[in-house]
Chains A and B, each alone.
Chain A
């Protein structure tokens, strides 16, 4: 049930975005183009957003038509590759085209589809749009400390470093602290899936033929648990993870599993003076890696019409045409069209080596991929989270009731091993429960949350400082530690100032990306968004704007970090 919820709710976020795009109100693309249109909806992995978004706009502006004279309208929505296929399988979303980051998950998608329907969701071998290898992105200085580029580095080396108590001290750099590693959430993102497959291969000492028996071995389980301990947090998309790494620098994250194109894009920015960050390089793991091939899949689903199919194929042809493929190289992708030469910026100056990778890891069968996901859910880094709820007088009415309901759903998204504390604040800061495993108190907690009532002033800064202090004392530094703050108004009654609060929660120091994260939700129009943003960003967390209507979706998105 929990896993189902975990998958279902974030999908709703994007589903509602897609619906908003299609429905009335402001004129959508459909109404602009008049009645005789054929709309092709596309769900695609976010790593190719920079390439695809302008091409969609360009294609729509040119008003291409089908042989029947209908104008083709492309509506493309970026979404984690695994998250999107879950939504398709559950028919919460019904796009014409699915373009995940890679083909790795297609066998799983087909196996799931066949459980309740005949035929495959993905038929044959779809065309690749653009290519990019999965790499370990690491700060150049750190890669050099490991012997890069002379010494080949592999998944097993990264795992050893991630699980070492000494961390960077082992390589003569104690000042860098522990090795801080990151990959995305395997229930949402393609790079999350391939990361856990690579970790499983490293644990099994194999490069192909991973089996369910391998995954059942206690040593492999222990290995995965250890590697996952070094993860700072998860995340719903690879593009986002890259941005986070390149914004916050080496103290936040030592290395992350990303795609080669994201490194090229970052290095281009840095070389152009648009990023003050240190150089970053791609490590091509010596045991082998996976490719992202961005397949363009016209779904074999009952909701796809013949007209949509042929319009989708017309857009595919446009994407594979030479000018669009050349543009992909500029953004750091390798072209799918073999008649286009590999050249700058795919070079050492931009942190990558087009002669790599030398080998790949074998993509396992569907049931082995699913078993790896299952093992990960059991071994993932646990979470210590405090939910801090503003219950001041201004929360009266809709606000307090939707806050209660969404918090209950948030509790459902967490696993039994996760620990949760609920704290309310108004004139006073009141912990409703201590930080303890959910398994012992899920029902009790739900009951307490439903009894939350509003009244009093807002002591936001005091509450944040208190919650942070409590998490520092009671949280386990080996867990992902986070505070989720929901507030609907200005601080009116704290003794502390904003500066005091920021000083208390900043992630400066050795912990870096493993420090306690603050996620803030500005609830309604009166919330002090700027203050919440400053506090969230000081910790490496994120600020969200929300209303009583979509608050549950915001909580769900925050849960992808865990």
Chain B
């Protein structure tokens, strides 16, 4: 509790310094007089806890541009919901923050198709700035993972998983008939970023690649399609959001899911709840993974005025300030993008939950394919695997 207060205090101080020192154009001592600049932001649901704490701190520090105060208008949304709302004009945000640059690439691809030019530029570091980082992991009941693959996730994790989930005899083949069929799960890739990351990792794994995935790989390889759909068909229910999916595995226990693919951050958020409930819940890192980098992307659209673009930069600077980043780590389980913040503090989550499999060093990452390839994969999934 004290630490939390210290964090809140620290972040207010941090903001004051930021405004006084970092942003020359802002006259902090002058009382706001002009009409407020309203910054409209759509963000992915996992960040709700963090942003709900950060937003009031930001506004409390009275950020302003030329005497005009900055007001935040935050709205949480699923990633797909977010870019569909932008594409059809239902929402006109100044900033969007999907869970990962993957999603920004999809919007870039779709908006280029629709408007003739992209509305976001996922790879432009000035326009899309990553704010947090967390890898995709598997969370499993340790007793069951021990039977599936022993202590550590093996290199052939996805192949073993495929064999286990597609075996009609299920756990019986592995000597534990009382566990029924093998129940793996991930979220709906059309609605949730972690679901898209999961099917992308499975696809890379089938082709033995970590980059250079093409639409032709997905569309013209019957062996892959069969293998992929056998896994997908074993999943009874795709979750709507990663946070809720993680809550379900804790609330229902091992009867509902043996293992699920989620973010490391949500696993950390639920680690204390899981302790002593239904046995040990443990984090397993796949041999290669994908990071969610939570970019905040300024839109290239006519409603984003120069003042709004400046206000957006001030807000993102605040998110990248040390107190905001430390809050994200200690309370919400994210890895800061600021490399000077240590992950191995004694009271930090990576130390506290090391026995649950958390580790600081990361597996290699696969390449993010172009938006068009991601759209091919999503389209294939929605035609063949969606329930």
Instruction: Please give the residue numbers on chain A whose beta carbons come within 8 Å of chain B beta carbons, in ascending order.
Output: 124-125, 128, 131, 133, 152, 207-209, 286-289, 291, 334-339, 341-342, 355-363, 365
Contacts and interface: CB of A to CB of B under 8 A. Distances in A.
A358 B254 contact: yes
Given A334-B251, A338-B247, A362 B181 contact: yes
A235 to B, nearest CB: 27
Contacts of B279: 355
A125 B240 contact: yes
Contact of B240 (A124, A208, A291, A361): A124
Contact of B255 (A133, A339, A341, A362): A133
A208 B183 CA distance: 11
Given A207-B170, A208-B236, A357-B255, A338 B270 contact: yes
B96 to A, nearest CB: 21
Nearest to A337: B251
B240 A287 contact: no
Contact of B178 (A341, A358, A361): A358
Interface string B262-294: 000000001011101111000000000000000
B251 to A, nearest CB: 5
Nearest to A208: B181
Given A125-B239, A125-B244, A358 B179 contact: yes
Contacts of A133: 255
Contacts of B272: 339
Nearest to B172: A207
Contacts of A288: 180, 255
B256 interface: yes
B252 interface: yes
A289 B272 CA distance: 27
A339 B252 CA distance: 12
Given A291-B252, A342-B277, A363 B181 contact: no
Given A128-B251, A208-B236, A288-B255, 14 more contacts: A133-B255, A152-B178, A289-B255, A291-B255, A338-B273, A341-B277, A358-B255, A359-B178, A359-B255, A361-B180, A362-B181, A362-B236, A363-B237, A365-B387
B273 A339 contact: yes
A133 B387 CA distance: 24
A70 to B, nearest CB: 24
Interface in B131-181: 168, 170-171, 178-181
What is the size category of the interface that chain B forms with chain A? 20 to 34
B120 interface: no
A207 B181 CA distance: 7
B180 A359 contact: yes
A57 to B, nearest CB: 27
7 contacts: A133-B255, A288-B255, A289-B255, A338-B277, A356-B255, A359-B179, A359-B255
A313 to B, nearest CB: 14
A417 to B, nearest CB: 35
A202 to B, nearest CB: 13
Contacts, number: 66
A124 B237 CA distance: 12
Contacts of A289: 255
A359 B274 contact: no
Given A125-B244, A338-B247, A338-B251, A355 B180 contact: no
B250 interface: yes
A208 B251 CA distance: 22
A356 B253 CA distance: 9
Nearest to A293: B252
Contacts of A341: 276-277
B255 A360 contact: yes
Contacts of A336: 251
A561 B387 CA distance: 35
Contacts of B277: 338, 341-342
A361 B236 CA distance: 10
A209 B169 CA distance: 12
Contacts of B387: 365
Interface string B354-387: 0000000000000000000000000000000001
A287 B237 CA distance: 19
A124 B270 CA distance: 23
A355 B240 CA distance: 27
Contacts of B240: 124-125
Contacts of A291: 252, 255-256
B353 to A, nearest CB: 16
A338 B180 contact: no
Contact of A360 (B171, B247, B256): B256
Contacts of B236: 208, 362-363
Contact of A131 (B252, B274, B278): B252
Contacts of B237: 363
6 closest A-B pairs by beta carbon, nearest first, are A359-B180, A338-B250, A338-B273, A357-B255, A125-B240, A338-B251
Interface string B224-254: 0000000000001101100010010011111
B251 A131 contact: yes
Which of B237, B247, B253 has the largest count of A CB atoms less than 10 A from its CB? Answer: B253
A357 B179 CA distance: 9
A338 B255 contact: no
B387 to A, nearest CB: 8
A362 B181 CA distance: 9
A362 B279 CA distance: 23
B251 A287 contact: no
Nearest to B277: A342
A484 B136 CA distance: 63
A209 B244 CA distance: 25
B183 to A, nearest CB: 8
A358 B244 contact: no
Nearest to A287: B180
A407 B210 CA distance: 73
B270 to A, nearest CB: 6
A513 B270 CA distance: 47
A133 B252 CA distance: 9
Contacts of A335: 251
Contacts of A286: 178
A487 B35 CA distance: 78
B139 to A, nearest CB: 13
A124 B239 CA distance: 10
A355 B237 CA distance: 23
A361 B256 CA distance: 9
B98 to A, nearest CB: 18
B274 A338 contact: yes
Nearest to A284: B255
Nearest to B250: A338
